[in-house]
Amino acid sequence: MKLKVCGMKYQDNMEQVAALQPDYLGFIFYEKSPRHFDTKIPELPDTIKKTGVFVNEDLNTVIENINKFNLQAVQLHGEESPFYCNMLGTTKLLETPVEIIKVFSVKDGFNFEVLKEYESVCDYYLFDTKGKLPGGNGYTFDWSLLNNYPSTKPFFLSGGIGLDQVTDIKKFKESNASKYCYALDVNSKFEIAPGLKNVAILREFQNKLGNNTMEENYNVDEKGYYGEFGGAFIPEMLYPNVEELRQNYLKVMAEPDFQKEFDQLLKDYVGRPSPLYFAKRLSEKYNTKIYLKREDLNHTGAHKINNTIGQILMAKRLGKKRIIAETGAGQHGVATATVCALMGLECIVYMGEIDIARQAPNVARMKMLGAKVVPALSGSRTLKDATNEAIRDWINNPVNTHYIIGSAIGPHPYPDMVTRFQSVISEEIKWQLKEHEGRENPDYVAACIGGGSNAAGTYYHYLHEKDVKIIAVEAAGLGVDSGESAATSVLGKEGIIHGCKTLLMQTNDGQITEPYSISAGLDYPGVGPMHAHLAKTERAEFLSITDDEAMKAGLELCELEGIIPAIESSHALAIFKQKQFKPDDVVVMSLSGRGDKDLQNYIDYFKI
């Protein structure tokens, strides 16, 4: 059932409620209402239909307001005639057509016969309680009256719906009366004051109602935490930079302009949507259904570019002129250098001195793309130190510089922002899988985890779907107990790294230790806070894969499917030897990158 939140009055509150992604937001254009809408509507995601509520209003005024506020639906709350509805539905004065919702106040003895005349002139009915003023009365009516509903037109159920009705709504949903119930309409029971909605209670309502959704919240909360993980543990010197981003990132991402440019670049430049490929021979071998999400086919060869495209557009909107980034294997460095070239912005990439030596081709790529590669000479001279150096650079350049973090890590809002940019992965999986299998939800989603950005994007739209199991694959290096490993969920303890509280590998004294994996993209001593939360709540199953297991799985994919995977992705592929799936299980796996960058590693390992 869809959700409409009605009676929005305050702009900030509109944004907060929009973040919960209801299907409709209602604005009351009726002066006598205490929720009378008299301001502007901020930019809202396209998926939310802006609905104007009118009471016996002059038709021209309605049309003007529809055009002015770009409304997608109109809810008629007075004694508007079928003729009136028809005029509204057919007028040429509207820039784009609107959905017409006609309201009827239901009380004992309501005569459904009156609907007949409206059948052909509106899109939905809305059944409300009769009260002194139209709408927002806070009373429910006897929903069993709808057993006599004679129509097949979908309707909104309204009138005093609140948290207390969750059980009744669930019962109603199972009854015959709800057969044509399309949406719930809520208003006064979720308010702090008339027109000011209580976001926490709305969220609780959404959580409690969803029968296929989880009660626990796996997304970031208002304070920037995933359960107990996350936050922004940053020196005061970074506060203005991070705070500027925190205040703006959701707003900017919701701008239609921004969305349009982002989508366009993902399509034309990155080459999205990336295919969802049914790996037939691999599936046969492991006797289950394996789909590969082909992020390896993106421009620059990995998922990393989804994030750098998003962040470069963000940086531009924030007026930044200089871009910095950290990189381990060089994939994120290349993806950052690429988008900087695309946008003509200065680019500085920090890279551990040891990684520079190990990853020469990517260093050359970054240079060709015009980036300056600065060696990180401190500490262990690998990814974690490159990240430290990038953060230090940001401290020294607080005004003109944007730091493009390469994974779902760092201080809030980075983990959430990166996750949202990467969430295009699971957004596509949903419709692609529907085409293949007739259903949006697989039985499993699986991905490898370094910091966790490809995994976060692969899980995002499934986090709260109860029937989808989540598998996270970490690098065990030479073995979890060998002392040479990067299996953070097993070896890590709660702590603070690079500005967030998460699981990280450290000594008893709280010094961060150096991880090891054959794959440069997975040897990070922490995981993103979202994944720490998924591990702690056991929402995700964490598996560890050794160097040897990964390398063999990589070669197997070459032989069975003709695809050379990045060694990071090979870790995910290796789970089929560790875990038995059922023949009709659908497993969607993120193939996060291609193996070109790892050729030397494969050559050395297999003595090719």
Partner 1 sequence: MNRINQKLQENKKLLSIYFTAGYPNIDDTVKIIQDLEKNGVDLIEIGLPFSDPLADGPTIQDSSTKALKNGMTTEVLFNQLKDIRKSVNIPLIIMGYFNPMFQYGVEAFCKKCQEIGIDGLIIPDLPVDVFHEEYQAIFEKYGLINVFLITPQTSDERIRFIDSISNGFIYMVSSASTTGAKSGFGDEQTHYFERINNLNLKNPQIVGFGISNNETFTAATKYAKGAIIGSAFVKHVTNEGIGTIDGFVNNILNG
Ligand X SMILES: Cc1ncc(COP(=O)(O)O)c(C=O)c1O
Active site residues: 304, 326, 592
Q: Which stretch binds ligand X (CB under 6 A): 1-9, 228-236, 542-550, 562-570?
A: 562-570
Q: Does 569 bind ligand X (CB under 6 A)?
A: yes
154: preceding bond cis by omega (within 30 degrees): no
* Measured distance between the N- and C-terminal CA atoms of the chain, rounded to whole angstroms: 57
Q: Which is nearer to partner 1, 129 or 397 (CB)?
A: 397
Which tokens sit at 560? 């069975």
Q: In the complex, what is the shortest distance from the CB of residue 455 to ligand X, in angstroms, rounded to a whole number? A: 6
For residue 382, the one-letter residue type is T
> Which stretch, 181-189, 261-269, 430-438, 561-569, contacts ligand X (CB under 6 A)?
561-569
Which residue do the tokens 């989603």 mark? 445
Q: Rounded to the nearest 5°, which phi and psi values hold at 228?
A: -90, 0
DSSP 268: I
Residue 497 bridge partners (DSSP): 500
The whole-angstrom separation of Cα 152 and Cα 597 is: 58
Q: Is residue 489 within the footprint of ligand X (CB under 6 A)?
A: no
- For ligand X, the nearest residue by Cβ is 593
**Binding residue for partner 1 (CB under 8 A) from 239, 273, 436, 579?**
239
Site for partner 1 in 496-555 (CB under 8 A): 496-499, 506, 508-513
Number of Cβ within 10 Å of residue 202's Cβ equals 21
Q: Do 83 and 89 meet the contact criterion of CB atoms below 8 Å apart?
A: no
Backbone angles phi, psi at 449, to 5 degrees: -130, 120
CA distance linking residue 593 with residue 598, whole number of Å: 10
The binder of 311, among partner 1, ligand X, none, by C-beta within 5 to 8 A per type, is none
Q: How far is Cα 72 from Cα 225, in angstroms, rounded to an integer?
A: 34
Structure tokens at 413: 């809002």
**Structural tokens at position 13:** 């509150």
Is there binding between residue 248 and partner 1 (CB under 8 A)? no
Q: Are 15 and 251 in contact (CB under 8 A)?
A: yes
Q: Name which of partner 1, ligand X, none residue 357 binds, using a CB cut-off of 5 to 8 Å depending on partner kind.
A: none
Instruction: Specify whether the CB–CB gap between 224 and 419 falls below 8 A.
Output: no
Q: According to CB under 6 A, which residues from 267 to 326 bind ligand X?
A: 302
Residue 85 carries which side chain, given as an amino acid letter? Answer: C
Min CB(574)–ligand X separation in Å: 14
Interaction between residue 592 and ligand X (CB under 6 A): yes
- Per CB under 6 A, the list member of 355, 484, 561, 568 interacting with ligand X is 568
Binding ligand X (rule: CB under 6 A), the pick from 159, 521, 529, 554 is: 521
Residues contacting residue 459 through CB under 8 Å, at least 6 positions apart: 426, 445, 447, 470, 534, 540
Report what 521 binds from ligand X, partner 1, none; CB cut-off 5-8 Å by kind.
Answer: ligand X
Beta strands in 227-288 (DSSP E): 229-230, 276-278
| Token digits of residue 385 | 């130190």
Q: Which does 186 bind (CB under 5 to 8 A by kind): ligand X, partner 1, none?
A: none
- E strands in 405-488: 444-448, 469-477
Binding to partner 1, residues 374-393 (CB under 8 A)? 378-379, 384-385, 388, 391-392
Window 184-243: residues binding ligand X (CB under 6 A)? none
Which position among 318, 395, 558, 560 is part of the footprint of partner 1 (CB under 8 A)? 395
Nearest to 13 by CA among 195, 162, 187: 195
Task: Say whether residue 483 binds partner 1 (CB under 8 A).
Answer: no
Contact of residue 329 among ligand X, partner 1, none (CB under 5-8 Å per partner type): ligand X
For the window 385-424, what string marks contact with ligand X as x by the rule CB under 6 A?
----------------------x-----------------
Instruction: Choose the one of partner 1, ligand X, none that binds residue 497, judging by a C-beta under 5 to 8 angstroms depending on kind.
Output: partner 1
User: Could you say whether residue 595 binds ligand X (CB under 6 A)?
Assistant: no
Which residues make up the interface to ligand X (CB under 6 A)? Answer: 302, 328-329, 331-332, 407, 448-455, 521-522, 566, 568-569, 592-593
Which residues make up the interface to partner 1 (CB under 8 A)? Answer: 231-237, 239-240, 378-379, 384-385, 388, 391-392, 395-399, 493-499, 506, 508-513
